[in-house]
Amino acid sequence: MPPKDPPSRQKACFTTGGIMRHVLVMAGTGAIGLMAVFAVDMLNMVYIAHLGQTALTAAIGFAGAVIGIQIAVAIGLTIGISAATGREIGAGRHEEARQIASSALAVMLGLTTVLGLGTMIAAHPILSLFGARGDALAHATTYLQTVSPFLPLICMGMNCSALMRVVGDAKGSMHITLLGAVVAAILDPIMIFGLHEGLTGAAISTVISRLVVALAGLRGALRHDMMTWPTLSRIVPDSRHVASVAMPAILTNLATPLGGVYVTQSMARFGLEAVGGQASIERTVPVLFSLVFALTGSIGPIMAQNMGAGLYQRVRETLAAALKLVMVSIGLTWIILAAMQNYVVAVFNAHGDAAMLIHLFCSLTIGSYLFVGMLFVANAAFNNLGFPLYSTAFNWGRATLGTIPFVGLGTRFGPAGVQIGQAAGVIVFGTLAVLTAFRVTRTLTGPVAASKPGTVPASDVPTVSAEAAMAELDELNNTPDLCEPDEDQDYVQTDNRRTQRPAG
């Protein structure tokens, strides 16, 4: 009996076709989901700001600094699982990818449960260490104690969504994040204004949204047959395999929020208005640059599959395409935001130092995010090409040498100096990181798999233009799958071998 073709989403679909199209479709769909989620966070900030209590606005800033550390751990685990499974899918070993994912997810749930409960217990002293005082400390503690125990839910949703992206289901992954955002968007005004729960209402809305995301993600991963019950004997070796990328990635991702803690502490010296202004900017940035943030998780599977298949030229093309997208996205956003900065200040009901910081960001320091984007793209390359410690080094360099001396000097010039110092540091490390990423991709060598009859060699597939790829992205809703099986293809990929289809 001839073997069955594998489901299309188990194919190494990024090893053929136009690189720019893959990058735009994966990053574009990821950005839509991220933008929806971050827009809800930004609306939370807007709602709380219009309650007219500066302490509540500052409380979001302090609590957000702690939550950023939690999410950094989740992102690191997600990167590890995505990279490990992506390489196996690229090499045609779907069952191995499935086992690795299941073992790693079991360990992840245990780790994040301990982290969430520990944060809940120690919320008050942690926030005090970050500079929170008085009413801002009390409100931030309540928010953190409500949200933290449910950290495993959002981690489960993130990792299941990543597994879907690894096998090419960009739309399905996007729908998970959109669903969570829709739930939060509906519940936030009801809880904050309708039931008069204020910041506590926002926390309850977040918990319910996390539950929805976890359930939807689990359903999606099971639909793609990317999860099973973990095998006890495999948990330790599989976890070590994932940890080789995940641990450096966690350390890498911890650098940014810990650097942010230093910035928050520095802003706290100038009062709650400065902390509130910084928090408003931090909630706005992910919405503005969702496409840039999505690139880190989106180009990883593309690089991993091509690395696993030995297609090193396509790895280099992926890096270049991602950087082009970063430059275009940030350039357009800067122009638009500079023209609309007065509206941004009004939306956040900002006054005094808060308004000044928003104006400064919109007109000047937003440009530094070009280098943040470079750092993100470089990190994705390092994590998926076997150099995760490079990510760790550059992110920690930015969080320490690129933050402490620059921000410390900036504090002499008030809250504006703090913001400018933060921007100056990332310019240095973003530039160094992307130059190193190009050097790493140039050193990739090895034989590329020979073409089989009836297949199109990847080197012969033209890379489509950015405009054409964007047009295809616009039509994505009419496309059932990014990785459609080719009915005319004579060879199909199965676990560990190629098999010829029977004639007729």
Mutual angle of helices 466-474 and 312-339, in 10-degree steps: 80
Which H or E run contains 276?
A: helix 272-288
pLDDT category at 43 given cuts 50, 70, 90 is confident
- Tens digit of pLDDT for each residue in 293-339? 777 767 777 877 777 777 777 888 888 888 888 898 899 999 999 99
- Six-digit token string for 314: 């396509």
Alpha-carbon gap, residue 83 to 381, rounded angstroms: 11
pLDDT of residue 445: 62
Cβ neighbours of residue 122 closer than 8 Å, sequence gap 6 or more:
none
For 169, half-sphere exposure in the C-beta direction (CA atoms, 13 angstrom radius) is 22
Alpha-carbon gap, residue 416 to 437, rounded angstroms: 32
- The two most distant CA atoms of the chain are separated, in Å, by 78
Alpha-carbon gap, residue 12 to 6, rounded angstroms: 11
Average pLDDT over the chain, rounded to whole? Answer: 77
End-to-end CA distance of the chain: 14
* Residue 332 near residue 450 (C-beta atoms within 8 A): no
* Higher pLDDT among residues 447 and 108, named by residue: 108
pLDDT of residue 493: 39
- Tens digit of pLDDT for each residue in 243-278? 877 887 777 677 778 888 889 889 988 888 888 888
pTM: 0.65
| Closest among 16, 84, 22 to 321, alpha carbons compared | 22
* Residue 486 near residue 455 (C-beta atoms within 8 A): no
pLDDT category at 364 given cuts 50, 70, 90 is very high
pLDDT of residue 117: 94
DSSP 197-250: -HHHHHHHHHHHHHHHHHHHHHHHHHHTT---PPPHHHHHHHHHHHHHHHHHHH
- Tens digit of pLDDT for each residue in 57-101? 888 888 888 888 888 888 888 888 887 887 777 777 778 788 888
Q: Is 492 helix (H, G, I), strand (E, B) or coil?
A: strand
| 12-16, 125-129, 443-447: segment of lowest average pLDDT | 443-447
- Tens digit of pLDDT for each residue in 438-497? 888 888 764 333 333 332 222 222 222 222 222 223 333 333 334 544 444 333 333 443
pLDDT of residue 257: 82
Alpha-carbon gap, residue 404 to 421, rounded angstroms: 9
Q: Is 500 helix (H, G, I), strand (E, B) or coil?
A: strand
- Six-digit token string for 253: 């991702």
Q: What angle do CA 68, 163, 463 make, to 5 degrees?
A: 100
The DSSP bridge pattern shows strands 491-494 and 497-500 to be antiparallel
Task: Check residue 479 and report its DSSP letter.
Answer: -
